[in-house]
Amino acid sequence: MVSAERVRIVVAEDEDAIRENLARMLRIEGFDVAAAANGKEALALVREHLPALILSDVMMPVLDGHGLLQAVRDDPLTSSTPFVFLTARADRSDLRTGMNLGADDYLVKPFQRDELLAAVRARLARRATEGQAAQRLQAEAQRLLHFDALTNLPNRRLMLERVRAASHQSQRSNSRLALIMLGLDGLSQVNDSLGHESGDVVLREVADRLFRQVNQAVFVSEFDGVGRVSGEQFAILLEGFGDDAYLDSLCRELLATVERPYQAEAQQLFLKACAGVALLDAAKSAPEDLMRNADAALHQAQQGGPGSLSFFSAEMNDRGVRRLRLHNELHKALERSELSLHYQAQVDIASRRIIGFEALMRWQHPELGFISPVEFIPIAEESGVIVEMGAWALNQACHQAKTWLDAGHGPLRMAVNLSARQFADDELMATVTDALEESGLPPASLELEITESIAMQGLERTVMMLTALKKLGIALAMDDFGTGYSSLSYLKRFPLDALKVDQSFVRNITTDPGDAAITRAVVAMAHSFGMIVIAEGVETTEHLEFLAGLGCENAQGYLFSKPLPATDAGALLAHMKFR
């Protein structure tokens, strides 16, 4: 039973006698009631109190009940608040309008006290179970997304988040940050000779030893800790660790710890390990670089044979030089027409029909040749040119979609990627409306793909921007879901239509039970939020069948088509259907 304590209800009713009577009945039951004489006042109360339930008359001055419901449903903060209409006559068209707008129930006036309370309690109870189920799904997805199932240690994703958080902190406190990457050697021999169960036993023991060793260390700040970042690789993040000599000796202790014998199936086993270390130079490198640099240092150490230790140095890669060059030349790429768009089909899994395309940018550099967006988009983002490039892509994609619609290939949805920087730009709304107007593309045929990083720009602003974009009638999708920040709680506040499961999960979905479990949890969670799921990177029929089994709606990937130049994509579209 739902406790009546502190449960808030907003009542909207223009007839004073009825309103006061209602409020009194509910207060006697212990509910906290806020009452309004019209829809407009009620809306203000709803926004202020975020009630557990709204009871509303249909016909009211200023703003009627349908208008109130519409406004309540449009606001992501209240879009799922239970809404019950009170109406004098059960007019069928009224009923239909209300239900279409998303009313949960109807009470026909005059009603008995018991009838009212039963309806209120039923709605609240339903809401409570839904809330609990959604919370469980969320918690489960959260855990799977951030922890390695075998060792219970943070996984690569969570470690990267901690690196980001720690680097913000270390910038403020001027402390140093180090990441040790420890790679095991000999694990595959254990797996091959004794089986995976023994391999798992050993891995858990490695995790345990590293965890204990690191926690004995004197420094331990909130971000310090061990994670398992890939099958045979552990990462150790340290903040404020003193001098390099200390770091060096700690690494050697960690290596020695791992090299002590293991016991599995009454046998003594031995592992070897190497370690690579990278330091964050807050002024010069991005948090992501710390992970990459530590990987590079480990790679270097592994060249030196088992037991080696290596510190990252700038010479380990010349990425920096190339990066600088691309950074300088990206500005000219647009005016020199070196950019183009390719289009990758998105398919409805049930019917195997093409339902749309994702527009993907390509850069053909006159000297360096083809450069992947994976490389140049982050650079464009950093320098800010992404705003201009993104606007170009949006226009181009809208025109292309309109051309295909005019050729009779509709209905069709064109998905365009939006970077965090574009999202932060004040001109975004104008850019989007201009692109729609100039191309004549119906807004419903446009989908914008955003990434989890936009949540970092302040929740309120993000919710407001997304709501405004939705009001234009375009669709919104969350891209690369599962690769970014930790908070799932924001998801339900964003008015999203679709969630794209990142290809890193899909890749191993039929072989890695962990990835399968994550994907299952993510699909269930998305559905509980009323979103559809688009799987990225679908390469095999096995992938597709597995995803279909999870109830995933749409798919995109090489199984159907690679991203293609416009003419080829148009030809594909003319066929429409995959077998």
Which positions touch Mg ion (CB under 5 A)? Answer: 417, 449, 479-480, 536
Question: Residue 525 CB, nearest distance to ligand C2E (Å)?
Answer: 19
- 393 binds, options Mg ion, ligand C2E, none, Cβ within 5 to 8 A by partner type: ligand C2E
In the list ligand C2E, Mg ion, none, the entry touching 152 (Cβ below 5 to 8 angstroms by class) is none
Strands 177-185 and 272-280, sheet pairing: antiparallel
Instruction: Pick between residue 186 and residue 373 the one whose CB is nearest to ligand C2E.
Output: 373
What's the DSSP call for residue 192?
H
> Least Å distance between CB 195 and ligand C2E?
31
Tokens matching residue 379: 């650079």
Strands 309-311 and 272-280: parallel
How far apart are alpha carbons 309 and 180 in whole angstroms? 10
The string of DSSP codes covering 520-536 is HHHHHHHHHTT-EEEE-
Q: Select from Mg ion, ligand C2E, none the partner in contact with residue 390, using the beta carbon and a kind-dependent cut-off of 5 to 8 Å.
A: ligand C2E
CB of 14 to ligand C2E, least distance (A): 50
How many Å apart are CA 382 and CA 404, to the nearest integer?
A: 34
Residue number with CB closer to Mg ion (536 or 553):
536
Give me 220's structure tokens. Answer: 């331990």
Give the pair of three-digit tokens for residue 2: 């739902």
* Shortest Cβ 236–Mg ion spacing (Å): 30
* Alpha carbons 365 and 385: distance in angstroms, whole number: 16
Q: What is the smallest separation between the CB atom of 360 and Mg ion, expressed in angstroms?
A: 7
C-beta of 177: minimal distance to ligand C2E in Å?
27
Are the C-beta atoms of 449 and 415 separated by less than 8 Å?
Answer: yes
Q: Which is nearer to ligand C2E, 2 or 429 (CB)?
A: 429
> Of 177 and 446, which has the nearer Cβ to ligand C2E?
446
Which one, 10 or 393, has the nearer CB to ligand C2E? Answer: 393
Q: Where do we find the tokens 């009452």?
A: 35
CB under 5 to 8 A by kind: which of Mg ion, ligand C2E, none does 36 bind?
A: none
Give contact residues for ligand C2E (rule: CB under 6 A): 344, 360-361, 372-374, 377, 386, 390, 393, 417, 419, 449, 479-480, 503, 536-539, 556-558, 563
Q: Which does 207 bind (CB under 5 to 8 A by kind): Mg ion, ligand C2E, none?
A: none
Q: Are the CB atoms for 295 and 247 separated by under 8 Å?
A: no
User: Distance (Å, rounded) from C-alpha 525 to C-alpha 137?
Assistant: 6
Among Mg ion, ligand C2E, none, partner that 270 touches (CB below 5 to 8 angstroms by kind): none
d(C-alpha 358, C-alpha 519), whole Å: 21
Closest to ligand C2E by CB, 63 vs 371, is 371
At what angle are helices 566-575 and 386-406 packed, to 10 degrees?
Answer: 40
Distance in Å, CB of 330 to Mg ion, minimum: 19
Looking at residue 303, what DSSP letter applies?
Answer: H
Query: How is residue 163 written in tokens?
Result: 């690196």
By beta-carbon proximity to Mg ion, the closer residue of 239 and 536 is: 536
Q: Where are the alpha helices (DSSP H) in 75-195?
A: 92-101, 113-146, 156-173, 187-194
What does each C-alpha distance from 520 to 143, 238, 503, 527 come to in angstroms? 13, 34, 14, 11
CB of 480 to Mg ion, least distance (A): 4
When the beta carbons of 389 and 523 are compared against ligand C2E, the nearer one is 389
409 close to 355: Cβ distance less than 8 angstroms: no
Q: Among residues 80 and 419, whose Cβ is nearest to ligand C2E?
A: 419
| Minimum CB–partner distance for residue 362 and ligand C2E (Å) | 7
- Tell me whether residue 102 is exposed, middle or buried, using C-beta atoms within 10 angstroms of its C-beta: 0 to 12, 13 to 18, 19 or more: middle
Chain centroid, CA 103 distance in Å: 29
Give the dihedral sign, CA 435/441/442/448.
negative
CB of 155 to Mg ion, least distance (A): 19
- Of 53 and 397, the one with the shorter C-beta distance to ligand C2E is 397
Q: How far is the CB of 328 from ligand C2E (least distance, A)?
A: 20
- Number of residue whose CB is nearest ligand C2E: 557
Is residue 302 within 8 A of residue 199, CB to CB? The reply is no
Indicate the residue among 163 and 506 with the shorter CB distance to Mg ion.
Answer: 506
